[in-house]
Chains A and B, each alone.
Chain A
Amino acid sequence: MSRSLLHDTAIILGKELRDATRDKRSVFLTLFYGVFGPLIMLASIYLQPGNDSVNKPVSVLVIGARYAPNLVAHLVSENIDVQQSKNASHDIGVILTIAANYGQKITSGEAVQITLTGSRRDNDNALNKVEGALENYERTLAVQRLILRGVPPVLLSPFAIEIHNTDESSAFAIYFSQSVVFFFLVACSSAGMSLAIDTTAGERERHSLEILLAQPVSRLAIVLGKWLTITIFGLAGIATCGLTFAILNASGQLAQMGIGFGYGFAEVPVTLLYLVGFASFLAALQLLVGFAARSFKEAQAYIGFTMIVPILLSMLANASYFDKVWMKNLPVLFEVMTLKHLLTLGNFLNSAWPVTLMMEAIFTVIILAIATARLNSGKMLPSD
């Protein structure tokens, strides 16, 4: 009867996968962050104050509109809803008061007193918009006066500025990509969490671990089988997150909100490739913490803490002082940087990947060796 590590690992992996896919909690957590993470993020951006105000017309009550018909016409042309009397159906945050001597002063080339009343804290940003429209009109008038006095128009505009905006995405795109990276890492972590608890502390509390340890299979095969199952679930969480994001991108929902990305379905396997090291490392960590815990509840608490690792590091990676190249090659920091690149610019090859992967592999092997030693120690057995 020949036995091999590979054969025994495959037996344990098969059982663990069958058991885990029947565990509603594990399956739910695998899908939850992957699907709802990007959706919640999108909803939060959509509902963010000021986001929808970009194209929303601003209402302004103009007192003395009859003294400045051209000014009023300019405001209307700048997508400002001019009201000449208070109307209950309109939400008016800005009041523009034009003096009765407006026409006379304009004609004589003197300064005109115009009063704007409103709040800069207003969510619609109405005061700034009306102020900007007035400044545009003011510049137009000034240029017209100078032209009338014989100044050539070219002297008034020494620069012929032509802007080619290569930034398809808006500031939201950058904000969104940073947040989505976070969800990729959390999706990986949460997908394996419930399974890691169940397969370690859960198995111990159910008293099935003692029978498993008494079987003629090596402890390493047990550790490898369980670790591979958690890794597969972590990768499934990442794939779910990637697919959700690719679907959102393909549906045009992101573009409608001014968020354009190069991330599509082709980038999902690339994401998995870049994150396989991270998923393996995190699965090993979750497994070890689960084996070290003395009870199911303790495992729940401690494995929950492992989620802090990617969260904290993804926050640090977004900080400006992480510009040093060697720092970006560190595990997790590398993944955060690479994912941000992948999300905003699409598929690319990062030369630092093999180095990071090797570092993560070394950490993973060390952690798995400790977990195997823990199983060998007899400390996992229930006390009499």
Chain B
Amino acid sequence: MIDIQAVSKSFGKTEAVKNVTLTVPDGAITTLLGANGSGKTTTLRMIAGLLKPDTGHISIDDKRVSSNRAAAVSTLGFFPDRFGLYPRLTAREQITYAARLRGVDEKHLHAAVGDAMETLAIGALAERRAKGFSAGQRVKVALAATIVGRPKTMIFDEPTRALDLYAVKLLRIVLKSLKKDGHAILLASHVMADVEELSDTVVVMAGGKIVAQGSCEDIRIEAQQPNLEDAFFALSGFDLEAIK
């Protein structure tokens, strides 16, 4: 479970995140929905301990990220919006490296890496170096490195970007499966189809603040719009009529 309490973050004079309070429960998928610059990535980076909040605090499974980062993120899988692979390492080596860094012990390492590769169906890539991978293959290997060892909490920043339809379908199945297994999943996405299919709770962010949260239906009703996309635009302060 991720617990975010009254978190704010500024970069110079720019307030990127303003007083955000949010809970990401276990066994559910929570989605951050927001335009570029709405504060989604900054929020995710603060959860992963990459940035320190100016005020407020974040806990992962009751461990404070600010005071004990290593312990707090030891059960966290992080998939950033722009992920990178090591071009000279094979898919198996990349995933093994991630598992070791996460603290998977040597006894269970082989099984954990095998499980992650099997989940993402990348067995054929196992011994190939990442240099020649397609965009979709790269995403799948990066996702396998994120879920290896099955960390209890996982955050994904726009994971379906650059994926083909088959890979998107596969990812949705994986995320649903992880949710079913009791993992707390926080997703940031622009893709309404993903949001509608996967999310238990949608958190709409605009200008660094949470402007609405609830189920897709709750959001639509709150915004008095016929669908989630229009509800998002309305809640984010976009002039729908002008767009139309």
Let me know if B48 and A11 touch, CB within 8 A: no
Select which of A11, A209, A215 is within 8 A of B84 by beta carbon.
A209
Let me know if A211 and B103 touch, CB within 8 A: no
Let me know if A213 and B50 touch, CB within 8 A: yes
CB nearest to A3 among chain B residues: B103
The A/B interface has a contact count, at CB < 8 Å, of 86
Judge if A152 is at the interface, Cβ distance under 8 Å: no
Q: Mark A200-224, 1 if CB is under 8 A from B, else 0.
A: 0001001111111111111000000
Known: A215-B98, A216-B103. A3 touches B70 (CB 8 A): yes
CB nearest to A2 among chain B residues: B103
Let me know if B83 and A381 touch, CB within 8 A: no
Known: A22-B88, A381-B50, A384-B36. A218 touches B70 (CB 8 A): yes
Majority SS of interface residues in chain A?
loop
Q: Mark B24-44, 1 if CB is under 8 A from A, else 0.
A: 000000000000110001100
Judge if A23 is at the interface, Cβ distance under 8 Å: yes
Q: For window 205-245 of chain A, which residues contact chain B by CB distance below 8 Å?
A: 206-218
Let me know if B41 and A384 touch, CB within 8 A: yes
Select which of B45, B86, B98 is within 8 A of A19 by beta carbon.
B86
Select which of B69, B74, B83 is within 8 A of A211 by beta carbon.
B83
Let me know if A215 and B50 touch, CB within 8 A: no
Query: Shortest distance in angstroms between A130's beta carbon and chain B's nearest beta carbon?
Result: 64
Judge if B101 is at the interface, Cβ distance under 8 Å: yes
Query: Shortest distance in angstroms between A353's beta carbon and chain B's nearest beta carbon?
Result: 37
Judge if A382 is at the interface, Cβ distance under 8 Å: yes
Select which of B51, B82, B98, B105 is within 8 A of A1 by beta carbon.
B105
Known: A3-B70, A11-B101, A384-B41. A214 touches B50 (CB 8 A): yes
| Residue numbers in A under 8 Å from B105 (CB-CB) | 1
| Residue numbers in A under 8 Å from B145 (CB-CB) | 211
Query: Shortest distance in angstroms between A4's beta carbon and chain B's nearest beta carbon?
Result: 11
CB nearest to B96 among chain A residues: A15
Select which of A8, A207, A212, A384 is within 8 A of B37 by beta carbon.
A384
Q: Mark B84-95, 1 if CB is under 8 A from A, else 0.
A: 111111000100
Known: A19-B86, A19-B89, A378-B51. A216 touches B73 (CB 8 A): yes
| Residue numbers in A under 8 Å from B41 (CB-CB) | 384
Known: A1-B105, A216-B70. A207 touches B98 (CB 8 A): no
Let me know if B50 and A216 touch, CB within 8 A: no
CB nearest to A219 among chain B residues: B69
Query: Shortest distance in angstroms between B102's beta carbon and chain A's nearest beta carbon?
Result: 6
Known: A3-B103, A214-B50, A215-B102. A206 touches B37 (CB 8 A): no
Known: A210-B80, A216-B71, A216-B74. A19 touches B50 (CB 8 A): no
Query: Shortest distance in angstroms between B72's beta carbon and chain A's nearest beta carbon?
Result: 8
| Residue numbers in B under 8 Å from A1 (CB-CB) | 74, 103, 105
| Residue numbers in B under 8 Å from A211 (CB-CB) | 78, 80, 83-84, 98, 142, 145
Let me know if B48 and A214 touch, CB within 8 A: yes
Judge if A74 is at the interface, Cβ distance under 8 Å: no
- Distance in angstroms between the alpha carbons of A209 and B82 in the assembled complex: 10
Let me know if B45 and A381 touch, CB within 8 A: yes
- Distance in angstroms between the alpha carbons of A8 and B70 in the assembled complex: 12
Taking beta carbons and an 8 Å cutoff, which residues of A are in contact with B?
Answer: 1, 3, 8, 11-12, 15, 18-19, 22-23, 203, 206-218, 378, 381-382, 384
A-B contact pairs, 13 of them (CB 8 A): A1-B74, A12-B101, A19-B88, A203-B84, A206-B87, A207-B82, A210-B83, A214-B76, A215-B98, A216-B74, A216-B102, A217-B70, A378-B50
Q: A18-B93, A214-B48 are known; give 9 further A-B pairs, CB within 8 A.
A: A11-B100, A15-B89, A22-B88, A207-B80, A211-B78, A212-B101, A216-B73, A216-B76, A381-B50
